[in-house]
Structures are given as structure tokens and as C-alpha cells.
Structure 1
Amino acid sequence: RLSSPFSRPFPGDSLNHQMAIKVLINGAAGRMGRRLCCLAAEDEHMQLVGGLERVESPSIGKSLKELEPLLQCGDDIRLHSNLSDVSPQPDVIVDFSAPAASMKLAEEAASKGIALVIGTTGLTEEEDKKLHSHSAKVPMIHAMNYSLGVNLVFRLSADIAKALGDDFNIEIVEGHHNRKVDSPSGTAFGIADAVCAATGRTRADLVHGRSGQVGKRTRREIGMHAIRLGSIVGDHTIHFGSDFERIELTHKAQDRDVFAA
């Protein structure tokens, strides 16, 4: 079997006492953050050491179990506003928060040698470049979506777009819950980027919604549309259409665990 310096000992191991990966969740009071805390606490190879939230959060100082009763951890695992207050120091921070918070945290984590797993969307191109510059200092993963199905959609969308050519129009429609703050979603941009890379397009070819006298649709443009409705976890459909036929490729997330597990 393979061993890791971060994994807990296998049953029967008495000589090599190996440590679990110490995990800190940023945005731990949010819906996704609470679920991440639960999954980390349930994983035998991980040790949940705390959560982070913005300084004005009313939950600062509370036990994570107060926020999520189903959480399997001790009462001493708390929510903090500063990384320096967390003890022991985490090996890795999992961050599904907001662009400004992710940027600030990434810089601090890099200075402390803490690895990062980031799922924050809505970053500008400049923020994305700056974020990834920290990967020269610490291990980092940043993805728009960690779902296996969505990543398959990225590949399939690119393959279909390349095979069909310019005779087919392309439109991307995404739907999320009514509390999502960024639009279009990072996943919708991920689909668009995959199609652009496969067909020689760029983000300059993206058209975000249509209103008024916008003129005739160009052959190369990709329409981007967002729905904000109820409690939708995440729906994404890419439409390919010619004068004679249509293809629709759809992914629907049914549970937030698909983004975290």
C-alpha cells in the first residue's frame, strides 16, 4: 500500500504514527462551507482544525457544531476571522468564498506555506493571474467546478463544437439559486472557454444576454444567459443549433456534495 505523511495510520499500524491532513474551511458559516466542514470531519484522513469567516460575521468565536449540529467534531473547533488565530496551523485551506476574500487569504496562506484548494468563482482575469502566481510558493488547485460530470461536459462541449463548425449557433444557459451573487457562473465561463479553445474563439465572442435592437446574430458569437430561481443547486445547458437540427447537452447538480466530495 502507499503511505502518506498526512494519512492516519491503517488498522494495526503501531510503529508509524502518521498524521491526518489538517484542514481549515474558509467561508465555513455558509451553506457550502458547512457541508465542507461535515465532509472533512467525516474523512478519516483529515482533521478539521477550524473555520474562517469575514470579521463582521456574528458567528465568529462560535463552535462549528453550533452552526452545524450534524458536524462530527469537538466543541473546541471554532470559527475565526484571522488565519493567525487558528491552532494548530492547517496543512491546507479549502476556500469556496468570494473573490476579495480568496485573494487576501491566498496571499497570507502562501506566506505561511499553507496549501490551497479554491473553488471561488467570479474572479477577474487579473485576479486569476495574481491568484495563480502564488502557486509558485505553495501547492494550489483552483477550479471553477469540481464535479466529475461538469468536467466531462467541458470536454464534450469542446468536442461537439469542433465537430459541428460554424454552421451551428451556440448558446449557454445556466441556472442557480436566487442568492448567487455572480453571473454568469464560473462553470458557464468554463464551458465557454472550452468551446473557444476548440474553435479558435475568445471571450470577446461572448454575448451576455440580449435586449433591444441588437441586430442579427453573428456566426461566431456564443450567447450567455443566467437564470436565478429558488434553490437551484446548479444547472448548465449548452445548445447547438442549425437551421435543421439541435443538440442540447445538460448537466444538473442535485446536491452540493458533488462539488466537495
Structure 2
Amino acid sequence: MALSIIVMGAAGRMGSTIARLVNEADDLSLAAVLERQEAEDRLAAFKASGALISSDISKVLPACPGAVVIDFTAPEATMVTARAAAENGNPVIIGTTGFSDEQLAELDELASRSLVFRSANMSVGINVIMDILPRLTALLGDAYDVEMMEIHHNKKKDAPSGTALLLAEPLLKAKGLTRDDINTNRFDVREPRKHAEIGIQSLRGGDVVGVHTIYYMGPGERIEITHQAHSRENFANGALRAARWIVSQKPGRLYNMQDVLHD
């Protein structure tokens, strides 16, 4: 039996890609697509698939028991989705970035009693890099400064990107630092680079899907690790892989892409 999928923000760049891939998959079924009320007419193309079309998640979920909700929208909208999914017992896959600390804490609480999966990046490649970074950082040692550059399209709102902050986590841990040691602004400071910090710089322009480069700069050499996303299908396929995986899990904690890869 095909796994039912509900796609939030289905008229957007990520949502439309996810919905299309669901329709193309033999083991998935597009149960519903949702968009803001003023943009609901942009979902007419999905009528042929038999999917429910709506702007109200609270009305859709009771009609789609067990369907996995996938949300790559915006923090406030995603929180509404996550609360509704928890109330109705639907698993939710979250690819949204830019959450506040309070919102992240609420997602943790929801995950204690419902199936919630969140990853700032669903790419298999990014998550494999995350596995490599702690050992590489430890082997190179304190003689190497670590910096990061991330590039995205000109419509992206948050900076640094959620993926950059995700990649920073194993770097900070390996160096015994915290997020307070991330430097995102050297323009207003006239002083040498601090040794105990990790710099993250952001560029925005054009239609760049996503490029992240980590630099290890040491005595007489530089190591660069770069991940380039060529298509949003990369992230969409990761989200669908997570959807297939999460239905066999139990509530209790917030799941992420590392859990999928190491299962």
C-alpha cells in the first residue's frame, strides 16, 4: 500500500518539487497539497492526481489519517503544521530553517509525544560530511583555523543558512566551542581573527540552490570541503526518504537525517 504524503507550501520551489516526486513514485501517494489561501488557485494542476487542495491543515489532517506531512515553508507556518500534526497523530517531516530557540524547544516537546523529524538539510552528502568533520577537525588540531562560506539564491531570508549552522555543530563540538563563538561579521571589527572562533560568511544572489565550503587554513596549506546542490530534487528526495523511514519509528525524541543514515 502506498504511503500517503501531504505537502505544505506546494506552490513554492521546494513544495512543488516534492509534490511532483511523490506523484512519480510507485510507493507514494499525494494525499493533499496546501498553500496560503491567496495562492490556493496555483494548485489547480494537482486536481488530476486526486489530492485534496486546501489552505487549512486542521481540516485536511482528519481526512488523511496516518499521512506524513512534509513542510519546507517558514518557521511560524511550520509551527502551526507541527502542532496540528501532533494533535491528529500524523508524522511530520520539517525542512524549514530559521527557527527561534523557543520554537526549537517546542518542537522537542512535540516530538516527545508525536513523530517529528527535522533537518536543516536533507541532503545525504551534507550529512555524510557532518560525519567526517569531527575526525578531520581533531586530526588537524588547533594549528588550523576553520572558516565557512555559504551561497544561496537571492530569495533566501535567513543568514547564515540553516545548513551552515548545521555544519558548524560538529566543528564547534570538536573544538570545544559554542554558537557564541561563531563570527558572522568582521566588517565592523578592526582586529586580528580570534583563534577560538569559527567564521561563517554568507553570499546571496541569482538562483543558486546552495553551496557550502568549509576551509581548514593551517601552516603552509589549505583544505577545502565543498558541497554544491545542483537541484532541489536532492533535498526533496531526502525528505521522502525520511518520510518512508519515520513511519516505522516511535515518538520520544526529535529525529534527524543522521538517524536515517545510521539506521
Same-fold call, TM > 0.5?
yes
Question: In structure 1, what is the Cα distance between the partners aligned to 2:31 and 2:213?
Answer: 38
Q: Which amino acid aligns with 1:82?
A: D
Structure 1 residue ranges, 4+ long, deviating more than 4 angstroms after superposition: none
Aligned to 1:16: none
Aligned residue in 1 for 2:199: 223
User: What SS class does the counterpart of residue 231 from structure 2 fall into?
Assistant: coil
Q: Hey, what does 1:170 align to over in structure 2? A: 146
Secondary structure at the counterpart of residue 209 of structure 1: coil
CA contact (8 A) 2:11 2:42 kept: no
Distance 1:230 1:219, change over 3 A: same
**Structure 1 unmatched runs, 5+:** 1-7, 9-19
Check conservation: 1:59, 1:79, Cα contact below 8 A. Answer: no
1:99-147 Cα deviation digits (max 9, x unpaired): 1111111111101111101111111222112112111222121111111
Give the structure 2 partner of residue 82 of structure 1: 56
Provide the alpha-carbon RMSD of the alignment.
1.7
Distance 1:200 1:82, change over 3 A: same
Q: Does the 8 Å contact 2:7/2:71 carry over to 1?
A: yes
- Alignment check: 8 A CA contact 1:99 1:120 kept: yes
Deviation per residue, 1:219-257 (Å, 9 max, x gap): 111001011011111100000102311111000010111
Aligned match of 2:35: 53
Q: Tell whether the 8 Å contact from 1:63 to 1:78 is kept in structure 2 after alignment.
A: no
- Counterpart-to-counterpart distance in 2, 1:114 and 1:184: 31
Q: Is the contact between residue 40 and residue 48 of structure 1 (CA under 8 Å) also seen in structure 2?
A: yes
Give unmatched runs, 5+ long, in structure 2: 238-263
| SS state at 2:63 partner | coil
The residue that corresponds to 1:21 in the other structure is 3
Whole-Å separation in 1 of the counterparts to 2:31 and 2:54: 11
Letter in 2 for 1:200: G
Q: How does 1:32-111 map to 2 (within 5 A)?
A: 32-55=14-37, 58-60=38-40, 62=41, 64-66=43-45, 74=48, 76-86=50-60, 88-90=63-65, 91-111=67-87
Identity %: 36
Q: Give the Cα–Cα distance (whole angstroms) in 2 for the partners of residues 213 and 121 of structure 1.
A: 28
Give per-residue Cα distances to partners, 1:55-88, cap 9 Å, x unaligned.
4xx322x37353xxxx6x6264343111133273
User: Bigger relative contact order, structure 1 or 2, given CA contacts below 8 A and separation 6+?
Assistant: 2
Give deviations 1:17-41, integer Å, cap 9, x for gaps. Answer: xxx2221101111011000001111
**For the Cα contact (< 8 Å) 2:209–2:231, is it kept in 1?**
yes
Instruction: Give the counterpart of 2:114 among 138, 142, 145.
Output: 138
User: Larger Rg: 1 or 2?
Assistant: 1
Normalised by the length of structure 2, the TM-score is 0.84
Secondary structure of 2:39 counterpart: coil
Higher helix share: 2
Q: State the match for 1:153 in structure 2.
A: 129
